[in-house]
Structure 1
Amino acid sequence: MTTTQPIGVAVIGAGMAGRAHLAGYRAASTMYDAGLPGIRLVAVADIHEPFARDAARRYGYQRAETDWRAIAEAPDIDAVSVVVANPLHREIVEGLLAAGKHVLCEKPLAPTVADAEAMVRAAERSGRVAATGFTLRRSPAINAVRRQVTEGPLGRVQHFNGHYWCDYGHNSDAPMSWRYRGGPGSGALSDIGSHLVDVGEYFCGPVRGVRGAVLSIQVPDRPVPLGAAVGHSAAVEVSTERRRVGNEDIATFTATFASGAVGTFSVSRIARGLANALGFEVFSEGGAATFDMSRPAEFTLADSAPPADSDGYRRVVVGPQHAYIAAGLPMDFPGVGHGQNDFFAWQARAFLEQIAGLDRLPHCPTLADGLHNLRVLDAIVSSATADGKAVTVQ
């Protein structure tokens, strides 16, 4: 479907990630070449009305809603980001697609593989753009390393070693929320491990199997909140009542890829002092590279280019010669830098260009990609519940 008409956008979910989507759509019209139809910032929906109203005011959207169905029924909305608790994704995404909306759904796509399969079928019936929000694929540095693998001297990856360590769950007195409910695999593995698995496959291709998985709950219970909190905020007051945590704080596992590469993965939401520490090393036939999210505008590279007496890792600062930077930032100058919020703007731009029928930025991952990601996570859970046995990804 190609359109030259203005695209009306909305976001369902006004929490931390929802606001990143809201800001991303607001910035999308300011970057890259002309040709994208106009963008109308129409609505924000959140069941907690103060969140919706505040987000609409902050990011310049026309109205706030408290029910996602108002978004589905609105004739002035064409494209919607779904950024709510994972168990709600299926009903909302299917409803939006049935109403003719284009959909960008945050990862993980759904609580179960069966739910995700139903969502993929709904997307196929709809004929609309239906995408999954793996925003790390928009990182200029990650793409620069990938290019060294696919087109440069590094070549085929032999070993991917990745971690995603956060500390939002470290405080045992932080309030209970939907993030801590659910069974094995719905905790740190689902929340941040889904991103790490996608990054690993971005370099190595599809995971063939996993083994040695461990899922561990280290904080057994949490206090019940007395109000609503945005994102991982612990600012809300809590009661003296505590409820059991149902999912993992830590996940570790190894993986084999169809390419022959091997992966080692570590995920934690209780890594004190590391708020958002994603990092990885790729060891390839022709060299190696590293990336650390705390320094998002650079990576290190080791290959055969330097002479022996100065061989080793060298730091590469991302600039306009790398993906997304030129015309993708207000000041697209070498060394100016960027951050993870910019990934959401570049993702929003790619999603809108796809809706408009343009073919300039890499397309967003599909719901089918989100389904495959869930199948990998499902295999990890199966391995963990069977004392680490090898499990093939279906």
Structure 2
Amino acid sequence: MPTASIGVAVVGAGMAGRAHLSGYRTASTLFDPGLPEVRLVAVADAHEPFARDAARRYGYRRAETDWRAIAAAPDIDAVSVVVANPLHREIVEGLLAAGKHVLCEKPLAPSTADAQAMTDAAARTDRVAAVGFTFRRSPAINAIREQITDGGLGQVRHFNGHYWCDYGHHPDAPMSWRYRGGPGSGALADIGSHLVDLGEYLCGPVESVRGTVLTTVVGDRPVPLGTAVGHSAAVPVGDERAPVENEDIATFTLTFRSGAVGTFSVSRVAYGLANSLGFEVFCDNGAAAFDLVRPGEFTLADATPAGPVNGYRQVLIGPDHPYVAQGLPMDFPSVGHGQNEFFAFQARAFLDQIAGLDRLPPCPPLAHGLHNLRILDAVVAAAHADGRSVTVA
């Protein structure tokens, strides 16, 4: 029987949580009609002011302070989990056991053991259980992917990617869960998980890792006296400082099963770069590049133009590219869009899966989140392998 309506909720009212809340609010306005009514039901956050403010801003019916209230609510069908990584397992397993569809933010869990348990829990239900890798929804990145998969650029030979942020640059930025955990749980898990996923999205499965360097630049941070949202430093701190337990910078090399090589660099202490994701992909018959600072375009080089005018050329994103037609209010070439739209496209794909529609590429299952963590484990292991390759489990 067709789904009459879908009640949605979000656990976590921080920076990414708000992006999910907004995404659900927008999802029913996107693409083809036919999606059941989307009911904006609840937002839960342990810090009640965050929950209440987010519910008011994004038009959700109520605010909760415990995810268990979301699990127990009969008017909620689908839930995004957008909280600290160590909390994912308990919440996801509890929501699945309560019969909810679940979209969990990346990285899926703090360990592959936790991720395996979550994946096993999903296998015991008939619910949609997905992991959020939002950059897979970028129109420009998908346009580049089409040039690869359709054969225009040919076989990928080299992927060079970076994700550089500066949220951890200041040594007096407050301590948070992002700075706790062992090697690999810092910049690598937080932003490197996105970059590794994009490498596979364009180049295929990873086979091995080598040459990892993990570096901690800021050794300790002040303990906050209040609650911060996202990467915010606008929270009072005291005199007490706590040790940073994970890496600020990670660099490594991946080898893909296809034979392509990927060079990766991630940092949370890149001065002046708030959110700088970019890559170049070099293929047999051409190359392409993308920079999140300019999300509505990419550059492309191939043999099409004549020699005197051959070279990289700018391609402006428009309705001939993925997600733009009916995905933007003004779906016109070069109108522009940003990362917030990726969350809306992802929310629509998740809701389509729940409704049994197949018009958009589905969100990756929890098993893909487990696979991503296995790659990150291999990256950490390669830091102690004396230059030898570490095979991905």
Same fold (TM over 0.5): yes
**Paired amino acid for 2:176:** S
Secondary structure of 2:183's counterpart equals: coil
1:92: Cα distance to partner?
0.4
In structure 1, distance between residues paired with 2:84 and 2:189: 11
Q: What amino acid is aligned across from residue 331 of structure 2 in structure 1?
A: D
Q: Matches of 1:392 and 1:106 in 2, distance apart?
A: 26
Q: Which amino acid aligns with 1:193?
A: G
1:261 aligns with 2:243: no
Corresponding residue SS for 2:46: coil
Residue 384 (str. 1) matches residue 383 (str. 2):
yes
| Residue aligning to 1:303 | 302
Change (3 A) 1:247 1:388: farther
Counterpart check, 1:123 vs 2:154: no
Partner of 1:33: 32
Aligned pairs for 1:32-181 (under 5 A) are 32-181=31-180
Tell me how far 1:95 sits from its aligned partner: 0.4
Aligned-pair CA distance for 1:111: 0.5
Structure 1, unmatched stretches of 5+, are: none
- Looking at structure 1, the residues matched to 246 and 2 of structure 2 have their Cα atoms a distance apart, in angstroms, of 44
**TM-score of the pair, normalised by structure 1:** 0.99
What secondary structure does 1:294 align onto?
coil
Aligned position for 1:332: 331
Letter in 1 for 2:329: P
Quote the offset at 1:127 in angstroms.
Answer: 1.1
SS at 1:267's partner residue?
Answer: strand
Question: Cα distance, 1:386 vs. partner?
Answer: 3.4
Native 8 Å contact 1:47 1:67 kept in 2:
yes
Paired position in structure 2 for 1:366: 365
SS in 2 for 1:120: helix
Is contact 1:3-1:355 (8 Å) kept? no
Give the 3 Å change call, closer, same or farther, for CA 183–317 of structure 1 in structure 2: same
2-structure distance, mates of 1:147, 1:369: 21
Which residue identity does 1:105 align to in structure 2?
Answer: C
Pair 51,387 (structure 1): closer, same or farther in 2 beyond 3 Å: farther
* 1:136-285 matches, cutoff 5 A: 136-285=135-284
Task: Tell me, yes or no, if the aligned pair for 1:214 and 1:388 is still in contact at 8 Å.
Answer: no
**For residues 253-280 of structure 1, what are the alpha-carbon distances to aligned partners after superposition, in whole Å with 9 as ceiling and x for unaligned?**
0010011100000000000011100000
Q: Could you tell me how far apart the structure 2 residues matched to 1:64 and 1:384 are? A: 44
Q: Give 1:33 shift.
A: 1.2
* Alpha-carbon distance between aligned partners in 2 of 1:59 and 1:3, rounded to the nearest angstrom: 27
2:346 matches 1:347:
yes
Q: Distance in 2 between matches of 1:31 and 1:109?
A: 27
How far is 1:388 from its partner?
4.2
How many matched pairs? 393
Matches of 1:206 and 1:220, distance apart in 2: 35
Report deviation, 1:152.
Answer: 4.2
SS of the residue 1:385 aligns to = coil
Alignment partners' CA distance in 2, 1:156 and 1:360: 28
Partner deviation per Cα, 1:265-317 (whole Å, 9 max, x = no partner): 00000000111000000000110000000000100000010001111000000
Identity %: 77
Cα displacement string for residues 40-66 of structure 1 (whole angstroms, at most 9, x for unaligned residues): 000000000000000000000000000
TM-score (norm. length: structure 2): 0.99
Equivalent position SS for 2:213:
strand
Stretches of structure 2 that go unaligned for 5 or more consecutive residues are none
- Give RMSD over aligned pairs: 0.7
Q: d(CA) in 1 for partners of 2:46 and 2:325?
A: 38
Matched residues in 1 for 2:387 and 2:6: separation? Answer: 48
Q: Deviations over 1:211-264 (max 9, x none)?
A: 000111000000000000100000000001100000000000001001110000
SS at structure 2 position matched to 1:312? coil
Distance 1:139 1:246 in 2: 33
- Post-superposition CA distance 1:93-121 (Å, at most 9, x none): 00000000000000000000011111111
Task: Find the counterpart in structure 2 of residue 292 from structure 1.
Answer: 291
- Alpha-carbon separation, structure 1, partners of 2:332 and 2:148: 25
